[in-house]
Amino acid sequence: MKRIGLLTSGGDCQALNAAMRGVVKGLYENIEDLEVYGFLNGYKGLIYCDYRRLDSRDFSGILTKGGTILGSSRVPFKTIHVPDEKGLDKVAAMKQTYNRLTLDCLVILGGNGTQKTANLLREEGLNILHLPKTIDNDIYGTDITFGFQSAINIATDAIDCIHTTAASHNRVFIVEVMGHKVGWLTLYAGIAGGADIILLPEIPYDTDKVIDAINKRSQAGKGFTILAVAEGAISKEDAALSKKEYKKRVANRMFPSVSYEIADQIMKASGQEVRVTVPGHTQRGGSPCPADRVLCTRLGSAAAKAIIDEDYGYMIGMVNGNTKRVPLKDVAGKLKVVEPDCQMIKEAKRTGISFGI
């Protein structure tokens, strides 16, 4: 007999349901008696004891379904020790819910912030497993996160569509790609979509170099230029500011995002027509791609095996093609960023892609 809880926390992505299905199928197939509790809307469900009893039927037909059947919310880690408006101690409340349901394990699906709270609950003595979810691919200790590959497909489609219209009108186009503070999604979608210039948070750009790259293409008779710009891209001047100064600068920026600012600078310096496209949350939506379905089935199944083995306190990651139990204590709070001098960047540069430096 096992009682397990599931919750999905933070920004959603395409393969959350696929991952939960993997866990639950892996358990139902191998355990006689199983009770599954799904906490609603992320950590809120655990704090306020808001849950649904689920059975195997709830996990049928959801492999291809985007979003999360449990709902999600953001409860930032920095607020976890702050009592709620009624003075409730959130950590104590989460432990109480877990103990009241006499859970054997809580499986938490989420990104970096979610993982920090998962590790805190582990430190508080709960049996925790974490599954690495995010389109940003920035979770340390796993080669890949789920949602990432589906989001690459969508962002690449956006760049593909821009290509044809950019070529017809001889325009400069900027496609702004999600990814929070890291550039993985922009790097992959940018290369896959044939972007000429890729700007990442990890490689602060020089505006003059960006404009030079556009002018070089024009001089070579190429009428259009496509830039894939990460939402967190930063100029070298801004990168030199302190965190506080940079926050102030962003708050006072007269543009909705970095892409619009770059567009303005390009228009002024080159006289070229520039358009900005922001696919935004479409990158997190729709059905998971086949690669994510496979990844989640494997991660979910590996989590089920850890539960069967009663071996807790891990993120179930993917390392060198194999699932791996990665101790949460070793990875919580760490970020996986694009290394500016990694092989992939060097290879991209060799094909003529400019990183604005």
The contact set with ligand F6P (CB under 6 A) reads 11, 111, 134-136, 178-180, 231, 284
From residue 244, how far is each of 78, 239, 335 by CA, in Å? 18, 12, 20
- Sheet with strand 172-177: strands edge to edge: 197-199, 225-230, 172-177, 274-277
SS3 at position 286: coil
Q: Are strands 314-319 and 322-327 parallel, antiparallel or unpaired?
A: antiparallel
What's 338's DSSP letter? -
Residue 298 CB-half CA count within 13 A: 18
Q: Give whichever of 76 and 83 is closer to ligand F6P, judged by the CB atom.
A: 76
List 136, 138, 196, 292, catalytic entry: 136
Alpha carbons 145 and 136: distance in angstroms, whole number: 8
Closest residue (Cβ) to ligand F6P? 178
SS3 at position 287: coil
Number of neighbouring beta carbons within 10 Å of residue 330: 12
CA 104 to chain CA centroid, nearest Å: 28
| Cβ(298)–Cβ(318) below 8 Å | yes
What letter represents residue 287's amino acid?
A: S
| Token pair recorded at residue 149 | 């590959």
Alpha carbons 78 and 147: distance in angstroms, whole number: 25
* Residues written for the chain: 357
Instruction: Say which residues have a Cβ less than 8 Å from residue 41's Cβ, sequence separation at least 6.
Output: 50, 70, 71, 72, 73
Between vectors from CA 19 to CA 184 and to CA 3, what angle results, nearest 5°? 135
Taking the complex as a whole, how short is the minimal distance between the CB of residue 77 and ligand F6P, in angstroms?
A: 14
| Cβ(186)–Cβ(198) below 8 Å | yes
What letter represents residue 161's amino acid?
A: C
309 annotated active-site: no
Strand partners, 133: 146
List, as one string, the DSSP characters of 135-169. TT--BTTSS--BTHHHHHHHHHHHHHHHHHHHHHH
Active site residues: 136
